Amino acid sequence: MPASKAQQRAVNKYMANNYDRINLTVPKGQKDIIKTHAEARGESVNAFIGRAIAEAMERDKRPQEAQAVQERTEGVPLHTLEQRIRKKLYKYGATIRKNRKSGGYTVVYEDTTLDFSDYAALLEYAQGLDKD
């Protein structure tokens, strides 16, 4: 059943009072790629873009860490780097989980869990294992 005009006005008023709008312009064809990517992860395009922005802003809060990670991992895809760390942690009896909401990581040992806010912190921890 379609919404009544009064109902639509109420929704529009709520949206105007509670949300800001940002118009995004992308090259032709990019919209479909973004939509497909978001749907593959069970997200709306809006949720995906919001998450991507939030993750980028979180990374940008730590410019020195981000630069250090970039220098050590130049040209290597993140999933490959994560896989290397998974293998290393497995040797020590741990597994790793990625938190999709926060972008952080959790390392799980048999009796302990360690939380890392981002990839830079996880990488530093994993490199420290070799020194022990």
Return the amino acid letter for 38.
A
Answer whether 92's CB lies under 8 Å from 129's CB.
Answer: yes
Of 36 and 56, the structure prediction assigns the larger pLDDT to 36
Q: How far apart are CA 117 and CA 44, in angstroms?
A: 24
End-to-end CA distance of the chain: 66
pLDDT at residue 74, rounded to an integer: 64
pTM value? Answer: 0.44
Give dist(CA 58, CA 102) in Å, integer: 9
Mean per-residue pLDDT of the chain = 82
Q: What percentage of the chain has pLDDT greater than the value 70?
A: 84
Other CB atoms within 10 A of residue 125 CB: 15
Which of these ranges, 2-11, 27-36, 37-46, 116-125, has the smallest mean pLDDT?
116-125
